[in-house]
Amino acid sequence: MSSATETVEEQQKLQIYPTSKAGVSPFWRDKYERDAKKYWDIFYKHHGDRFFKDRHYLDKEWNSYFSVGCGAGNTIFPLIATYPHIFVYACDFSPRAVDLVKAHEEYTETRVCAFASDLTGDDLDKHISPSSVDIVTMIFVLSAVSPEKMPFVLQNIKRVLKPNGCILFRDYAVGDLAQERFSGKDQKISDNFYVRGDGTRAFYFSNEFLETLFGKEGFEVEEIGVCCKQVENRSRELVMNRRWVQATFRLSNGTKNPSEEQERKEVVDSTDIDISDGLAMEMFGASPSTHEMSEFKLRDSAFKIKLLSKEYQHTCKSTGLMLWESARFMASVLDRNPNIVSGKRVLELGCGCTGICSMVAARSANLVVATDADTKALALLTENITTNLESSLLGKLKTGVLEWGNKEHIEGIKGLASCGGFEVIIGTDVTYVAEAIIPLFETAKELMLRKVGEVEEEKPALILCHVFRRVDEPSLLSAASKFGFKLVDRWDMNSKESPVGNIVDRWFYENDLVAEIPSSALHILYFQME
């Protein structure tokens, strides 16, 4: 394949949402501008101080502060807790947001002065003495302002800044995932400026736009860069970009640092800098409700599973809070073929919060242990088990923390098996990280029961169900062989190769089970110890 073709395919992979050329009509554009305060007031009426988490990351990046666009106070209160002698002025467009700040248990007028202000028209010096502020923070604030009114905001702030004072800035960057989402909808007001579903607006900045905007108002760029964090949605095989601009602007005093020009051009490309989960939700237009109920139906039963809401999944670091196609598929296989686990001790690796394979297996197995390294996923799993499993089966299904390769965890799970190991080990979509493959097979070997059956199907087995992503089959087989596993059988709906054995094919004698397969890219690998 040519490099040009590869580039086109990569661009297609990154194109998450269809492009829409339509935009917001002039009537609605004017209405959103005229009613901007009302929409933000409604926002804080609905969400209160629960939507954004406190921004403790500020202390890790800057040393002194003053808050503009304070919202519910998520910047303010970490500041006064960190710096006992600092006095913070705080303003917001929404009077309701200011009321939330004043209602906070840590609010005191000796430390904080909070007031409502429209920075595009109200004079800040009615509340703050001119040229008295050392530092101003603008954290996801300027993006809510119409581009043509942004100069007025800077002029207003400039009046209360001391000579040589700084603005510490963080806001949305061009190319951010949220902008990609907007591009497929009729929500564009003007270039890089969009309206959300709740009527609030967001602008996406480039470095060049900011340098010009601040430069015209007498600010020099000390540092500016785009912070990037890449997120992969494995179920849709998408790579998505989170992008925001971070910068420091200083009110010019007529002198210039000789090294400033070089610093200004440096670009930050960091995967270590992160923002709070609440802020990430706001960045991508997601619902503040992080969980939803999803129904998973089998032939004669159904599960109501609590998991991470779809709106939030693309920003979440934990893959264990979602329901993957391979787990749905393997649960259907176990439902139709209870003999796979009947009367056996079963271990599920990387079960996540849903645990549907373990819950189905518990109907016919002697013992099932569902494991994951994510304690949040296990906490939600416990809730799902209690909701869905019959009381008579609850004693057969246990959960445990298991980080692959962790000796202490492995011994703890062995203890739950009581007889030295498990006869069936199941893993669904646990093979997507290359660095985890060796610990995976190492852990499976330690927890596999040492038993030689008379017939092949009675021997202990490791069953992996997945879509091949970053780790291909030869790499998996190579890693498996290092720990004494041999491939006894494989299954692939689209494969033209002859099966290795005749075990897995028998699971699909019922044609309607094949029809239930959620993705033709799913594979099953069936291993036994040599």
CA distances to 64, 142, 197, 269, 282 from 202, in Å:
27, 9, 11, 22, 11
Residue 387 falls within a domain, yes or no? yes
Same-domain status, 400 and 461 = yes
pLDDT band per the 50, 70, 90 thresholds, residue 472? confident
pLDDT value at residue 308: 76
- DSSP state, 364? T
Read off the pLDDT of residues 351-383 as tens digits, 9 standing for 90 and up. 999 999 999 999 999 999 999 998 888 999 999
Same-domain status, 84 and 138 = yes
Boundaries of domain holding 334: 291-529
Same-domain status, 277 and 321 = no
pLDDT value at residue 195: 82
Same-domain status, 319 and 214 = no
Residue 489 falls within a domain, yes or no? yes
Same-domain status, 276 and 308 = no
Asked if 442 contacts 405 with a C-beta cutoff of 8 angstroms, the reply is: yes
Same-domain status, 246 and 364 = no
Same-domain status, 464 and 384 = yes
Same-domain status, 180 and 68 = yes
Same-domain status, 318 and 443 = yes
Read off the pLDDT of residues 204-252 as tens digits, 9 standing for 90 and up. 999 999 999 999 999 999 899 888 876 665 554 555 677 889 899 999 8
Nearest to 463 by CA among 417, 496, 429, 436: 429
Same-domain status, 369 and 475 = yes
pLDDT value at residue 317: 54
pLDDT value at residue 72: 73
Q: What is the pTM of this model?
A: 0.50
Residue 131 falls within a domain, yes or no? yes
pLDDT band per the 50, 70, 90 thresholds, residue 265? very low
Residue 6 falls within a domain, yes or no? no
* Alpha carbons 43 and 199: distance in angstroms, whole number: 9
Residue 10 falls within a domain, yes or no? no
Structural domain count of the chain: 2
Check which CATH number belongs to the domain holding 69 and give it: 3.40.50.150
Same-domain status, 61 and 89 = yes
Strands (E), 210-359: 219-233, 238-251, 291-297, 302-308, 345-349
Asked if 91 contacts 119 with a C-beta cutoff of 8 angstroms, the reply is: yes
Residue 162 falls within a domain, yes or no? yes
Residue 17 falls within a domain, yes or no? no
Residue 277 has pLDDT above 80, yes or no: no
Q: List the beta bridge partners of residue 92.
A: 116
Residue 13 falls within a domain, yes or no? no
- DSSP state, 339? G
Asked if 246 contacts 268 with a C-beta cutoff of 8 angstroms, the reply is: yes
Residue 281 has pLDDT above 50, yes or no: no
* Alpha carbon 293 to chain centroid, angstroms: 18
* Alpha carbon 213 to chain centroid, angstroms: 32
Neighbours of 195 (CB within 10 A): 22
Buried b (16+ CB within 10 A) or exposed e, 507-529: bbeeeebeebbeeebbbbbbbbb
Q: List the beta bridge partners of residue 467.
A: 522
Our separate counts of H helices and E strands in the chain read 19, 19
Same-domain status, 272 and 376 = no
